[in-house]
Amino acid sequence: MRLIAENLGGERGGETVFSGIGFALEKGQALIVTGPNGVGKSTLLRVIAGLLPAAEGRVRIEGGPEDFPSVASACHYLGHQNAMKQALSVTENLRFWRDFSGEVALSVEEALETVGLDGIGHLPFGYLSTGQRRRAAIAKLLVSRRPLWLLDEPTAGLDKASEGRFGGVMTKHCRDGGMIVAATHLPLGIEGARELRMGEAV
């Protein structure tokens, strides 16, 4: 399975943010998107996910199983917001996303253990600290199976130990044949990740 972006251009509010971005990502590879603020990293991820229309070029996924015919159906998108409800408990939130997304992978308890949140699943999401919220959102990636992870500054708010643990989670995802596109300013600790620097070639 391959993710291919050809000559991709993105715009925000009618103004071109970036153009001519192209890459091909093979199974098991990770792509780290870096660059200064405002260069369009988040826009790129949203264009890849299909949440924003591409101003030019296109993104497609090839050779995947028939469960994942399009990029949108094959991806987990982790944006700046965690997509969790404050009033519901962590477990309820995760269980909802597992049931809604389908393709069950880990159980909710296993996912929480993987991100080091075991024992607080019963707390309302609103009670958690910023870092814990982010970790719960990362656990969301684990409860249902998607080959492609689109991560927008995934480690924002995480402490060193959690960063390391998340690096391990991402490395394992790649080793299992997954793909990752992550926009970040910090090193993520994925082994063998490629880098796409935005804002320099243009």
Partner 1 sequence: MSGRTEGGVQARASQNMLALFLRDIRLSIRAGGGALTGVIFFLAVIVTIPFGVGPDLNLLARIGPAILWISALLACLLGLDRLFQADREDGSLDLLVLGNDRHMLALTVLVKCLAHWAGSVLPLVVAAPLLGLFMNMAPVGIGATALTLLVGTPAITFIGAAGAAVAVALPRGGLLISVLVLPLIIPVLIFGVSASYGAVADPDPFLQPFLILAALTLFLAVLGPVAAALALRHGTD
Q: Which residues pair with 34 in a beta bridge?
A: 197
Binding site for partner 1 (CB under 8 A): 12, 46, 49-52, 69-70, 72-73, 75, 77, 79-88, 92, 95-97, 99-102
Residue-by-residue DSSP string for 175-197:
HTT-EEEEE-SS----TT-EEEE
Task: Pick between residue 34 and residue 43 the one whose CB is nearest to partner 1.
Answer: 43
CA separation for the pair 108, 121 (Å, rounded): 9
Q: How far is CA 139 from the centre of its chain?
A: 11
Q: Based on the number of CB atoms within 10 Å of its own CB, is 77 exposed (0-12), middle (13-18) or buried (19 or more)?
A: buried
Cβ distance to partner 1 smaller for residue 133 or 173: 133
CB of 99 to partner 1, least distance (A): 3
Q: How far is the CB of 192 from partner 1 (least distance, A)?
A: 27
| Whole-number Å distance between alpha carbons of 40 and 46 | 10
Which of 84/193 has CB closer to partner 1?
A: 84
- In angstroms, the CA 27 to CA 49 distance is 17
Q: With respect to partner 1, which residue has the nearer C-beta, 100 or 201?
A: 100
Considering beta carbons, is residue 87 or 201 the nearer one to partner 1? Answer: 87
Q: Are 29 and 23 in contact (CB under 8 A)?
A: no
Can you tell me the distance from the alpha carbon of 120 to that of 12, in angstroms, rounded to the nearest whole number?
Answer: 39
Q: What is the dihedral of CA 39, 41, 43, 47, to 10 degrees?
A: 130
Write down the least CB distance from residue 161 to partner 1, Å: 25
**In the complex with partner 1, which residue's Cβ is closer, 7 or 86?**
86
